[in-house]
Structure 1
Amino acid sequence: GKGASALKQLVATVGEDAFQAGMRAYFRDFSFKNARLSDFLAAVSLGSGVDLAPWSAAWLETPGVNTLAMVGGTDGWRLEQSAAEEYPTLRPHTVRIGFTTEADGVLSTVAVPAIIDSESIGIEAPVNDPVFVFPNYDDLGYAKVHLDEASLHFATSRVNDIDDPLLRQMTWATLWEMVRDQEFSSAAYLSMVNEKGPTETNIHSIRLMTNTASTATSRFTPEADITVAETSFVAAGLKALEVAPRGDDRVLWLRAMIANASSPADLGTMAEILDGTYGADVAVDQNMRWNLATRWSAFGLEGWEDRARLELERDHSDRGLRNMVSIEVAQPNVDAKSRAWKKIHGDGYGSLYMDLAAMRGFNWRHQRELLEPYVEMFFEGLPSVFAQHGHEYADRYFDVFFPWYRIDDEVRNRIATMLSTIKGPPMLVRQLREAADQLERAMRCRAVAQAG
């Protein structure tokens, strides 16, 4: 996170000895007092002799994330830094740049320090002909990374050959950020996950892959390709259940597989795993069971009611009752949606959490035609929801009930129209703008994937 990175950068700016001296003075002077940020910075500044006002302004008083990229050419390497248009600050970064070479089939990495506080600086490479260059080695800087063409090719084809688990993890994170920034195709990313993911052993890399899979398939993949992408991911997950280390690694894969299973065959296989008839050596929890039961209802699989009743017998807690509401609302038929809509916007289900459970079961991408009338009803009703309900309800209502499954011009234009006509409340305006930003990103990512 930014906090940890800011501390790393502060230490790099003043030096470790000076930072420790400042910390000793800070704890001595404020051990029994309240302190402000200015007190903390003054102590570090006194210990180091460095004026930290410019550093604080750049690091602690401005939003946004910079992007670092290495550019190689005939005249050598350059480290480039860029910022988003809306947050143009270029922060001073102290980083280490990793240059990886290969000799006789063995990879080795040499890291060199660099300080950048501008758009570009020259870098003297410590080696010739690196096969992979990573400009934020050791994760010292708070920045996104974009890989150069050769390094991207190496990462996509040989990420599993990187022995350093942190560098491998950061490479996966970089690839995902490049997908989000339309510098790398979601299709290529998912292909990597499916091919390289099952044999990954770093739990943090596995968590990243499995956590991003649903977004990559449902939001960043062209609509016509989503079903195939989901099926391919589930197939990769089945392989992971065979070869991944037992324990949390397999649990992460199974959770993601359930979230992406959409065909009757895959949903049936997930049921076999949870029921213990598939033979997978993986721990199963009740949340997995409820998630699958909800998907069985949403996709109209025969026997969904029996599965739901069985799960309620296992878990007759408040959680179980909430999930039963989601399962009822998830049914792919007009009556279920109509009853849920009227109840949510009428007397409700008895509590905020029951109402949210109903909302969570409402929207499904494959039910788009069934849900068509409710998209306009959602937007039309937003002003009254925000006017009649408290902050928490309105915030959760928007976040859970918004038609996120729709990545198209119609929804984008509807948001734009609403933003041009309403005058508040500020929270609604903010959420509409954030939804518009997410929608624009998804549409751009789909366009990159569509282009190949």
Structure 2
Amino acid sequence: MPGENLTRAEAIERAGVVSVESYEIALDLTTGPTTFASTTTVRFAATEGAATFIDLVAPSLRSVVLNGRELDPAEVFADSRITLDGLAASNELVVVADCAYTNTGEGLHRFVDPVDGEVYLYTQFEVPDSRRVFAVFEQPDLKATFQFTVTAPAAWEVVSNEPTPEPASATHASDPAVGAATWTFTPTPRISSYITALVAGPYSVERSSLTSSDGREIPLGAFARKSLAKHLDAGYIFEKTRQGFEFFESTFGVPYPFTKYDQLFVPEYNMGAMENAGCVTFTESYVFRSKVTDAVRERRVVTILHELAHMWFGDLVTMKWWNDLWLNESFAEYASTLATAEATEWDAAWTTFAAMEKAWAYRQDQLPSTHPIVASINDLEDVQVNFDGITYAKGASVLKQLAAWVGREPFVAGVSAYFRKHAWGNTELSDLLSELEVTSGRDLSAWSALWLETAGVNTLRPEIETDVHGRITSFTVLQTAPAEWPTLRPHRLAIGFYSLDGDALVRTYRVEVDVDGARTEVKELCELDRPALVLINDDDLAYAKIRLDAESLPVALEHLASIANPLARSLVWGSVWDAVRDGETPASDYVRLVLGNIATETESTTIRTTLNQLALATKQYVAPERRAATLAEVGDTLWALAEQAPAGSDLQFQLVKFFAHLASTPAHVAALSGLLDGSVALSGLEIDTDLRWELLEGLVLNGAAGDAEIDATLADDDTATGRQSAARARATVPTTEAKVAAFTKVVDSPDLPNAIIRQTGLGTVHVNDPAVLAGLVQPYLDAVLRVWDERTYHMAEEIIEGFYPAPVASAELRDATQSWLDAHADAAPALRRLVIEALAGTERALKAQAADA
């Protein structure tokens, strides 16, 4: 990826020279299947006589005209930059290029539907990929208006940030027999280039509208490919959208800032969604062609509201540079969870947040690559790797803590003032804090320094003394920090007392306190009777790892299923899991805890998260000598629980899915085979298309199925999802030869699309016996630099993260990975970070194995 980077210093220098007024972008999508024509007219002010550059990634630059002066493309175009010198005070630049379609989910992605041969396009520009479609000053603080003119097949839907206009007839450049049209969109407001968008193709669309708080009618659209349209539940999507609009407009006190709101579900997407202004793109895995868990259904709602929140956080007001990416993502994550909990039927969203998002944050914050929420971003490669659990989940957790500390009303008032003051502009951390200080009356500089500008996570635990009658004589909250990140922070948190009431463990007392320093005495709890369970950080207000005291821990484990509050249960689950990851609690004990209690858990995301952790504990954290027996026990128990689960329940569905993923014995194979051929049935369980693929993968994992069965299943489901599932199943074949072949094919085939690469990686590392992956370690390490140098960022990340043979979890893997790092000390920092994080996972697995020995 040389030549496509941009440093913060360069961005600051360029912003000091250039102020952009407008872009006019003409795209012809009828020129053929590999490239499209792009003409960009940019008007901008500049320091007279200065020089700068504009960004473009394109296979062919046809012409560059600056203020009527033709520049030689061969002389001015190199390393994704067009050099511009002799600037005037007011400038007009016209760039004509042939830009390339991608199959990597970056720039303008082109997809051909295997069902009907139709072509679908969509853009993905964050962080630096609008330059793959038009010439642009690619940095967030150089905002401008964007006016798109698009020529495409007349039968297509063409969607951008502004409402789609009536098209005019045009000539198809590569096939005059095909009808074509040109759509001329109105200019956008002043926005950053990374949230502009274009989606085009024969998408199916359903439309509706809503009334904004300022009285405007906002058109709504929901789009999906024609072959998926029957599965698009647009009515439900519109309902959640309306609930989100009402919540955000009333909470923020600022009307929706754009003219319409389209939501488009697009193929082969690299992430969950993207907040393009008024033109949000989503992964089409959110169009449910088969049954999904309640956890996924809830996650879709949170994602819908996350992207809607971005219309204010990020689109209306945008960070100046990527070090303040958290101003976008942390706020959208916090606001979307708040809206989901308070404006939709998913009122346990904060339990979901604790189970999944905060677990992600804690995991990320304990890696060697941890960083402050306000991160040091020196260049584009730095920011690419910072779309992580700290920027999203830790940031949102800290905002929840801040709202608890200053009070929700002052917090919301400060955010509202921030929007009104900085609308259509760019901001830094200080801009937000100054508004919150006004509304809360608090000096936030110290809080910011401790929470936003330092890294690491604290651990909190109670120290309790009682008299002979069981009354508390001393209650102290102890706070520690890792040696590498020794900051102790202030925490606003609740302490809950739980007592047994019949069969239920219920909260009988709660107090909110401020914790600061290594020891905080809580005198309010003295003279009270010691309860059965003391829960630090009850209601999950604080961001910290928690531990249970010696008397509470056995009560929590014995009565976990009877804790009435699902958020309290989630905190206990999380505390025990964190202790396993830290090597304090044996992984085998955690396996027994899960198997003994998962059947009574009611929250879908808690079930999903816990079963994923069970899989990791079983395959990497349990002592190697017990791994096979533990895996067999886990499979046996999951199947028995699935047979006992309520017919058709989410629990039953999840247990079957994880049983297929963890199956390891002939009895497990027989059960999977029976489910597939109908000789075994579970009441209420439908073996639909996607579940069929999962059951088949379980058979392949155990050597009980192969190419013939995969081919037959694909023949019945020759769709995009079917082809991805087939690629994953083929990579699951449990031999070293198959694993190395799958990896080699990905490395040696630059034309494989992103989704196939992703699924092949998932299949490659899906093993019961880690020995079959040992032969992949050296080929993987030998290919890392080549992948980084030859692939786009997203594809390099997908391969480097997705194919790391983590299940090997051995000293040999640790040492080989460390040797690579030692030998490549001068490799790109972003690449080294990916490898360092992989190594940290192996080191943690070895620590857990030692604790389980």
Would the TM-score normalized by the shorter structure come out above 0.5?
A: yes
Cα distance in structure 2, aligned partners of 1:328 and 1:21: 54
Letter in 2 for 1:444: K
Secondary structure of 2:808 counterpart: coil
1:268 aligns with 2:670: yes
Partner in structure 2 of residue 387 of structure 1 = 789
The answer for the alignment partner of 2:462 in structure 1 is 70
**Aligned twin of 2:513:** 114
**What does the per-residue CA deviation read over 1:197-252, in whole Å, with 9 as the maximum and x for residues that have no partner?**
11222323322222212111111111222222222222332343244454322222
More strand per residue: 1 or 2?
2
Aligned-pair distance for 1:274? 4.3
Q: C-alpha displacement at 1:95, in angstroms?
A: 0.5
Which of 776, 783, 797 lines up with 1:374 in the alignment? Answer: 776
Report deviation, 1:34.
Answer: 5.4
Is the 2:619–2:768 Cα contact (8 Å) retained in structure 1?
A: no
What is the Cα deviation at residue 94 of structure 1? Answer: 0.6
**Residues 30 and 178 of structure 1: CA distance in aligned 2, closer, same or farther (over 3 Å):** same
In the alignment, which residue of structure 2 is the partner of 1:84?
482
Where does residue 212 of structure 1 map in the other structure? 613
Deviations 1:380-401 (A, max 9, x none): 2322332233322221111122
Q: Give the structure 1 partner of residue 495 of structure 2.
A: 97
Residues 122 and 276 of structure 1, relative CA distance in 2, 3 Å threshold: farther
Give the superposition deviation at 1:420.
Answer: 1.4
Q: Rate the CA distance shift 1:332–1:43 in 2: closer, same or farther, 3 A.
A: closer
Q: Which segment is superposed worse, 166-175 or 225-234?
A: 225-234
1:355-366 correspondence runs (5 A): 355-363=757-765, 365-366=767-768
Inter-partner Cα distance in structure 1 for 2:594 and 2:405? 37
Give 1:359 shift: 4.1
Q: Shift of residue 196 of structure 1?
A: 1.3
- The CA distance in 2 between the partners of 1:333 and 1:408, in whole Å, is 18
Matched, 1:43 2:435: yes
Summarize the Cα distance change of 1:274–1:56 in structure 2 as closer, same or farther, 3 Å threshold. farther
Q: Letter of the aligned partner of 1:320 in structure 2?
A: G
Structure 1 window deviating more from structure 2 (385-394 vs 186-195): it is: 385-394
Report what 2:550 is aligned to: 149
How far apart, CA to CA, are the structure 1 residues paired with 2:425 and 2:777?
54
Aligned-partner Cα distance in 2 for 1:312–1:123: 62
1:259-292 Cα offsets, whole Å, 9 max, x none, are 1111122132123234443221224443332233
The secondary structure found in structure 1 opposite 2:621 is: coil
What does residue 531 of structure 2 align with?
Answer: 130
1:73 match: secondary structure: strand
- Distance 1:259-1:349 versus aligned 2 partners, 3 A rule: farther
Which residue of structure 2 lines up, in the alignment, with residue 443 of structure 1?
A: 846
What SS does the aligned partner of 2:622 have?
coil
Aligned with residue 172 of structure 1, among 573, 592, 599? 573
> 3-state DSSP class of the match of 1:88?
coil
How far residue 355 of structure 1 moved from its aligned partner, in angstroms, is 4.2
Say which of 723, 726, 732 aligns to 1:324.
Answer: 726
Q: What residue is the counterpart of 2:399 in the other structure?
A: 7
Amino acid across the alignment from 1:112: V
| Post-superposition offset of 1:193 | 1.0
Hey, what's the Cα distance between the residues in 2 that align with 1:309 and 1:206? 33
Amino acid paired to 2:843: E
Distance 1:349 1:305 in 2: 23
Cα 1:225–1:421, aligned 2, differ >3 Å: closer, same or farther? same
Aligned partner letter, 1:176 = W
Are 2:645 and 2:651, in contact at CA under 8 Å, matched by a contact in 1?
yes
The answer to whether the 8 A contact 1:222-1:449 is kept is yes
Partners in 1 of 2:757 and 2:816 — Cα distance?
25
**1:368–1:136 distance in 2 versus 1, CA, 3 Å:** closer
The 3-state SS of whatever aligns with 1:361 is helix
Instruction: Describe the shift of the 1:226–1:106 C-alpha distance in structure 2 as closer, same or farther (beyond 3 A).
Output: closer
Q: In 1, Cα distance between the equivalents of 2:416 and 2:735? A: 66
The CA distance in 2 between the partners of 1:16 and 1:337, in whole Å, is 52
Find the aligned partners of 1:178 and 1:398 in 2 and give their Cα distance: 28
**Secondary structure at 1:141 match in 2:** coil
Matched to 2:582, the amino acid is D
Please report the TM-score for the alignment, with normalisation by the length of structure 1.
Answer: 0.90
**Take 2:706 and 2:431, find their aligned partners in 1: how far apart are those partners?**
61
- Report the CA distance shift for 1:104/1:304 in structure 2 as closer, same or farther (over 3 A): closer
Gaps of 5+ in 1: none
Distance 2:695 2:607 in 1: 21
Give, in angstroms, the shift of residue 342 of structure 1: 4.8
Mapped to 1, the partners of 2:550 and 2:510 lie a distance apart of: 20
| 1:219 alignment partner, SS class | helix
User: Which of 677, 681, 697 is equivalent to 1:294?
Assistant: 697
Aligned partner of residue 461 in structure 2, secondary structure: strand
2:493–2:542 CA contact under 8 A, matched in 1: yes
CA distance in 2, matches of 1:18, 1:350: 51
Distance 2:708 2:702 in 1: 15
Cα distance between partner residues in 1 of 2:744 and 2:834? 24
- Supply the AA of the counterpart residue of 1:119: A
Shift of 1:145: 0.9
Instruction: Mark the runs of 5 or more structure 2 residues left unpaired by the alignment.
Output: 1-392, 467-472
Q: Relative to structure 2, which stretch is displaced further, 13-22 or 423-432?
A: 13-22
2:596 is aligned, of 155, 177, 195, to: 195
Are 2:806 and 1:404 equivalent residues in the alignment? yes
Instruction: Compare CA radii of gyration and give the structure with the larger one.
Output: 2
| In the alignment, structure 1 residue 59 sits paired with structure 2 residue 451 | yes
Residue pair 1:97, 1:135 contacting (<8 A) in 2 also: yes
After TM superposition, the structure 1 stretch with the greater mean CA deviation from structure 2, 58-67 or 102-111, is: 102-111
Matched, 1:416 2:818: yes
- Contact 1:198 1:236 (C-alpha < 8 Å) held by counterparts: no
> What percentage of aligned pairs have identical amino acids?
29
Partner Cα separation in structure 1 for residue 767 and residue 402 of structure 2: 46
Tell me the TM-score normalized by structure 2. Answer: 0.49
Measured in 2, the distance between the counterparts of 1:322 and 1:289 equals: 14
**Structure 1 position 20, deviation (Å):** 5.0
2 CA distance for matches of 1:378 and 1:316? 31
SS in structure 1 of the partner of residue 748 of structure 2:
coil
Relative contact order, higher structure (CA 8 A, sep 6+): 1
SS of aligned partner of 2:529: coil
**Rounded Cα–Cα distance in structure 1 between residues aligned with 2:459 and 2:677:** 46
**1:21 and 1:304 mapped to 2: Cα distance?**
60
User: 1:314 maps to what in 2?
Assistant: 716
Moved more, 36-45 or 437-446: 36-45
Asked whether the equivalents of residues 221 and 449 of structure 1 are also in contact (C-alpha less than 8 Å), the reply is yes
1:433 matched to 2:851 = no
- Cα distance between partner residues in 2 of 1:4 and 1:356: 28
Cα contact 2:504–2:564 (8 A) shared by 1: no
Q: 1:210 to 1:336 in 2, by over 3 A?
A: closer
In structure 1, C-alpha distance between the alignment counterparts of 2:773 and 2:480, rounded to whole Å:
42
Q: Which has the higher helix share?
A: 1
String of CA shifts for 1:288-323, please: whole Å, max 9, x gaps.
32233233223221x544532332133111232233
Deviation, structure 1 residue 333? 4.7
Mean Cα deviation higher: 30-39 or 163-172: 30-39
